[in-house]
Amino acid sequence: MKNVIGGALSKLDKQSVVTAYRRQAPIYDIVFGVLLHPGRIGTVKLINQTAQGRVLEVGVGTGLSLPRYRKDLRIVGIDISDDMLRLARQRTREKRLGNVEALLNMDAEQLQFDDNSFDTVAAMYVASVVPHPDRLMREMQRVCKPGGDIFIVNHFAEDGGLRGTIERRMAALSHKLGWRPDFKLAPFMAHGTLEILARYREPPLGLFTILHCRNEKPAAVAAEQEAAAD
């Protein structure tokens, strides 16, 4: 199976992702939580500066970001891993996060929300994890209001240099890792109509990028969705 986003060796399926996160859930906060902390903090800080109303966090994981959102924002988190969601719900109870509306087991490629349900959508470290990134892009744009903000945080592969060589060689391990080391930005963005307003390189070593995007839906699509909502 060839994946045009990552490359010929990048193979992922839903079950491999669920299995990977079942293994990682008990140690996620200690290991990956630290590694991904700067991107998570940076993204929530940007959301707190710009967002109003409802925020959807796609791939909420163990809920590390939840206590950092402004208390007047209404947060909905989804994840495909029950093991991760169990920890997120526990965190929500312990921190008494009353602004968290729901934490739901849901496939990011098939979001069970109406069109234009959220003012802001965030996908942190998700794009290179889902089996079909094009569907993720389509769903994020669908549930976000026209003109709303979409924040994408991810590692995006490079073509050349030592880093690019390592990423290509690691691609064969995508199925076991549960993510694509060779995931590239341009093919992913080509699946949507997002306008990139700003991009930020995050530690460690600039390996992760925050994209602040505007949901520029084609006029015909936006009008159709607005009519259906009336």
Q: What is the pLDDT of residue 129?
A: 84
CATH number at residue 206: 3.40.50.150
Buried b (16+ CB within 10 A) or exposed e, 40-62: bebbbebbeeebeebbbbbbbbb
pLDDT winner (highest mean) among 13-17, 153-157, 169-173: 153-157
pLDDT surpassing 60 at residue 194: yes
What count of other Cβ atoms lies within 10 Å of the Cβ of residue 169?
Answer: 12
Domain-embedded: residue 4: no
Domain-embedded: residue 178: yes
**pLDDT level of residue 60 (50, 70, 90 thresholds):** very high
**What is d(CA 99, CA 28) in angstroms, rounded to the nearest whole number?**
24
The chain-wide mean pLDDT, for the chain, equals 81
* Mean pLDDT confidence for 138-164: 82
**pLDDT level of residue 120 (50, 70, 90 thresholds):** very high
Nearest C-alpha neighbor of 180 from the set 152, 157, 197 = 157
Domain-embedded: residue 88: yes
Domain-embedded: residue 2: no
Number of structural domains the chain divides into: 1
* Mean pLDDT confidence for 5-31: 59
Buried b (16+ CB within 10 A) or exposed e, 13-24: eeebbeebbeeb
pLDDT in tens, 19-52: 766 666 666 666 666 778 889 999 999 999 999 9
Domain-embedded: residue 41: yes
- Give the largest CA-CA distance in the chain: 53
Domain-embedded: residue 158: yes
Find the domain containing 59 and state its range.
14-229
DSSP one-letter code for 3: B
pLDDT in tens, 203-219: 766 678 899 999 997 75
Domain-embedded: residue 114: yes
* Mean pLDDT confidence for 150-159: 83
pLDDT surpassing 70 at residue 169: no
